[in-house]
Amino acid sequence: MPKFEECLQRLEDILAELERGDIPLERAVTLFEEGIKLSTACRKELEDAEGKVEILLKQNGRIQAEPFEELTSSQTTKR
């Protein structure tokens, strides 16, 4: 199974090819099918990662899931 990053790159490649619009319908359908499979694989991997993060945040026998928040540049300079 390809890594998440490889799947994501392939999805971007597929999207670029589909957006050009100069491909035969059969090729477009094949690319669409591949994209759906890759999207499903990426979603599953993200869900698995989320589950692992929740386990790591487990405290006092209860899971306390915390939303992921990206740091803004002002937050990173305060640290």
Could you list the pLDDT tens digit for every one of the 79 residues in the chain? 568 899 999 999 999 999 998 999 999 999 999 999 999 999 999 888 888 877 777 755 666 666 666 555 454 444 3
The per-residue pLDDT for 51 is: 81
Considering the entire predicted model, what is its pTM?
Answer: 0.62
The per-residue pLDDT for 76 is: 46
Give strand pairing partners of 21: none
Residue 64, classified by CB atoms within 10 Å of its CB into exposed (0-12), middle (13-18) or buried (19+), is exposed
Q: Taking a C-beta distance cutoff of 8 angstroms, is the pair 56, 63 a contact? A: no
Q: Which residue, chain included where needed, has tokens 């026998």?
A: 61
Q: Taking a C-beta distance cutoff of 8 angstroms, is the pair 66, 57 a contact? A: yes
